[in-house]
A and B are shown apart, each in its own frame.
Chain A
Amino acid sequence: MMASQNMDPAVAEISSKGIPNLNNGTKETHSATKRLQKELSTLMMCGDKGISAFPEGDNLFRWKATIQGPSGTVYEGLLYKLVMEFPSSYPYTAPTVKFETPCYHPNVDQHGNICLDILKEKWSAMYDVKTLLLSLQSLLGDPNIESPLNIHAAELWDSQVLYKKIVREKYNKDVLGK
Chain B
Amino acid sequence: MATAADSQDGEEATPSPNSSENGTFECNICLDTARDAVVSMCGHLFCWPCLHQWLETRPTRQVCPVCKAGISKEKVVPLYGRGSTNQQDPRDKVPPRPAGQRSEPENNTNFPGFGFGGDGGLHFSFGIGAFPFTFFASTLNLNDGRPQPPSAGTPQYAEEQFLSKVFLWVAVLFIFWLLIA
Contacts and interface: CB of A to CB of B under 8 A. Distances in A.
A39 B31 CA distance: 8
Interface stretch (A5-13, A108-116, A120-128, A144-152): A120-128
Interface string A18-31: 00100000000001
Interface stretch (A54-62, A71-79, A87-95, A160-168): A87-95
Nearest to A31: B30
A42 B53 CA distance: 24
A124 B57 contact: no
Given A20-B94, A92-B54, A126 B30 contact: no
Interface residues of A, number: 16
Given A92-B53, A92-B54, A125 B94 contact: no
A35 interface: yes
A128 B30 CA distance: 10
Contacts of A38: 30-32
A85 to B, nearest CB: 18
A173 interface: no
B29 A91 contact: yes
B94 A126 contact: no
Interface string B58-76: 0001010110100000000
B32 A125 contact: no
A35 B30 contact: yes
B31 A128 contact: yes
What are the 4 A-B residue pairs with the smallest beta carbon separation, nearest first? A92-B57, A124-B65, A126-B65, A125-B65
